[in-house]
Amino acid sequence: MPHAHVNGISFHYTDSGEPSPGAPTLVMGHGLLFSGWMFHPQVAALKDRYRCITVDWRGQGDTPAAADRAADMDSLTGDLVALLDHLGLDAVHYAGLSMGGFVGMRLAARHAERVLSLVLLDTSAGPEDPEKVAQYRTLARVYRWLGMGPVRSKVEPIMFGPDLLGSSRRDEVVGPWMAKLATVDRRGMRAAILGVTDRDPIAPELDRIEAPTLVIVGEDDVATPVAKAEAIVAGIAGARLEVVPKAGHSSTIEQPEAVTRLVEDFLARF
């Protein structure tokens, strides 16, 4: 498993490699409580035409927390830029879900020359909703000391939509997620959770994004509802919105075929 030693951390990523010389690169950034694993259906479908790279943010997946536990969105954006430099990638297509979208908007607004196109999934340009902050901080505190078990029943409906949770696919999706989550250092994950709850808004910078942008959201996403996606589209010139039926906050694995098709069709324009 490749790691890049950048910004004082051992940054884990996966790299499918170039399917052909000069093939375009698609970098994918995951949502909170996940890892690059949440894009495995898209990697499987696209790796024959794109160099597919997934990243694990600080304190999540196989990337350890920073020594100072910093996990704010600006630090994560700096990690991503450092990884692109490490890999010798000047400009890439970028897709980010939730937390990955927070990073993607910063990357596209502040490093426009690095982004060929932008896909934002189940994310928000604003701060965390005030009524959710206290709830998420409490969940972070319980998780830090006791793990996911005591809070699983509250977290699952935030991370997944009712269609998946009520279906026969629940175990094949939620089971691996829980197994991967159990291997993460809980102190680092708590820092990641607080990085999301305490994030600064990126909305004032949306008008600086020049990359062609596709915004995707699950119709049943309660963490970042459709209205959040609509606000992003309103702030980025030429952005397009797609709402995925029967999907919650983790659309890439809840409705993988539908999301992959949207991403595939969008990237085919370039």
**Contact, 8 vs 130, CB < 8 A?**
no
Q: How is 72-129 classified by DSSP, letter by letter?
A: -HHHHHHHHHHHHHHTT-SSEEEEEETHHHHHHHHHHHH-GGGEEEEEEES--SSPPP
Length in residues, the chain: 270
In this model, does residue 226 exceed pLDDT 80?
yes
Residue-wise pLDDT tens digits, 103-128 = 999 999 999 999 999 999 999 999 99
Q: How far is CA 137 from the centre of its chain?
A: 20
| Structure confidence at residue 150 (pLDDT) | 84
- CA quadruple 37, 42, 48, 49: dihedral positive or negative? negative
Q: What does the pLDDT read at residue 249?
A: 98
Beta carbons of 95 and 103 less than 8 angstroms apart: no
Phi, psi of 233 (to 5 degrees): -60, -40
Average pLDDT across the chain, whole number: 95
Where are the extended beta strands (E) located within the chain? 3-6, 9-15, 25-29, 51-55, 92-97, 115-121, 213-218, 240-244
Mean pLDDT of 207-229: 98
The rounded radius of gyration (Å) of the Cα atoms in the chain is: 17
For helices 73-86 and 186-197, what crossing angle results, to 10°?
110
